[in-house]
Amino acid sequence: MPLILGLETSCDETAAATVEDGRVVCSNVVSTQHDLHERFGGVVPEIASRAHLERLLPVVEAAVEDAGLTLDQLDAIAVGNRPGLVGSLIVGASAAKALAWSLGKPLIGVDHVLAHLYAPRLVEGDDRSAATPQAAVAYPALGLVVSGGHTSLYRIDSPTGVELLGKTIDDAVGEAYDKAAVMLKAGYPGGPKLDALAQHGDPASHKLPRPLLGPGSLDFSFSGLKTALLYAVRGTPVGRGSDARFERDADDLNDQQRADLAAAFQHAVIDTLSTKIKRAHKRLSEAGAVPRSLIVGGGVSANSLLRARLIELSASLGLELHIPAMSLCVDNAAMIAGLAHERFVAGAFDDLSLPVVATTAV
C-alpha cells in the first residue's frame, strides 16, 4: 500500500500530509495565513510566497512526525504544481523536488483543482471502513469545484478522467464571498464569516440577481451579483470613476439589515450553483451519459446552505453525493497525496523539470 507525502502551497495555505493507499489520511497539517492577509481583505501574493518559505519545512516535519513515520518510509513525493499563484507554487515544487531527489523517491505533480474532486474519497484516522472505496463511486459523475479561485463543472469518468463543462468567466464564488464580506464588514476570511452572518437574515428581504448567463450556459459569472450587492449596501453612486460617491456604507446599516443582505446574497449564489448543476445533469443525460454521482470539492463546499442544498438536489436527481469532510474542504495536502496515488499505481512520474503553471490543465 503506497504511502505518499503531499505538499500544497498554491495560495495561502502551507500544507503537508501523508496518505496511505490513496484513501487513509495518516497526517494532515495546514498552516493558515489568515493573520497575514486579514488587513488587506484578500491574499497578497508576495506575502504568501514568503510565508510559505518560512513555514513549509516545519509543516513537513510535523506531517511526518504526526504519522509516526520517517522520510525513508515514504514511497513518493507529490506536490500541487498547478494552478495557483506562481510564487507560491514555486516554493512547494522546489521543496518537493529536493525531497524526491535526496530520498531517491518518485516525484508526482498534481492539479490542485482536480485534487479537490478527490477529497471526498479520503478518510482521516485509522478507520479504513469509513473511506469511500474506489469502486463505490458510480460513474459517470458530475463534478463541481467551488473555491476562492475556481468555480467549475466537470464530467468525471474516473479519478483522472475529467472533462471540463463550464467555468467562471470572471470572479470565482469564493472570491465573490470574500468581496461581499468586505462590503458588509463581516470579517475575514469572508466565506465562513458571511455564512455565519446569513444565518440570522431573511433571504427574501432583498431581490438580488441570479447570474445564469445564456439559456443552457454552464459557465459562471458573479461580478454582476457583487455589483448588485454593493448598490444594495451603499446605494446608487453619484458621479463616475474616481469622482463617484455613495450615499452610505455598511456602518450605516444595523445588524439585522446586514444579516438580511448576507442571506439574500448567499441564496442568490446557491440558487445559481443549483441551477447550473441541473443544467449540466440534463446536458449529460441527453448525451447518453446519465450522471450517477455528484462529487463536490473546494473551500466553499463547507458552506452550510450549499451542503444542505446539495443533499436535497442530489436526492431529487437520483445522484449519490460525495462531499469532503469539513477539514478537507479547504486547501490541504491530503487531497494532493490522494490523487497522486492514481498516478503512482499507473507509474506516471515526473522528473525534476516539472514546471509550475498558473492555470489548470483541464
Return the ∠ at Cα 28 (arms to 23 and 31), rounded to 5°.
Answer: 150
246-302 pLDDT tens trace: 889 899 999 999 999 999 999 999 999 999 999 999 999 999 999 999 999 999 999
Contact between 261 and 206 under an 8 Å Cβ cutoff? The reply is yes
**3-122+327-345 and 141-323 have identical folds:** yes
The CATH superfamily of 3-122+327-345 is ATPase, nucleotide binding domain (3.30.420.40)
Helical H runs in the chain? 34-37, 45-66, 86-103, 112-118, 173-183, 190-198, 223-234, 255-286, 304-317, 334-345
Q: How confident is the model over 163-183, as pLDDT tens digits?
A: 999 999 999 999 999 999 999
CATH superfamily of the domain spanning 141-323: ATPase, nucleotide binding domain (3.30.420.40)
- DSSP letters of 223-283? HHHHHHHHHHHH---BSSGGG-B-S--GGGS-HHHHHHHHHHHHHHHHHHHHHHHHHHHHH
- Rounded to whole angstroms, how far apart are CA atoms 332 and 329? 8
- 166/35 Cα distance (integer angstroms): 33
Measured CA to CA, the distance from residue 282 to residue 167 in angstroms comes to 17
Cα–Cα distance measured from residue 63 to residue 104, given in angstroms and rounded to the nearest whole number: 19
Q: Which of 155, 180, 178, 154 is nearest to 167 (CA)?
A: 154
- Residue-wise pLDDT tens digits, 96-147: 999 999 999 999 999 999 999 999 999 986 555 454 554 479 999 999 999 9
Q: How many alpha carbons fall within 13 Å on the CB side of residue 150?
A: 33
Q: Where are the domains of the chain?
A: 3-122+327-345, 141-323
pLDDT of residue 126: 56
Contact 324, 299 (CB under 8 A): no
Query: Residue type for 28, please?
Result: N
Contact 339, 116 (CB under 8 A): no
Mean pLDDT of the chain: 93
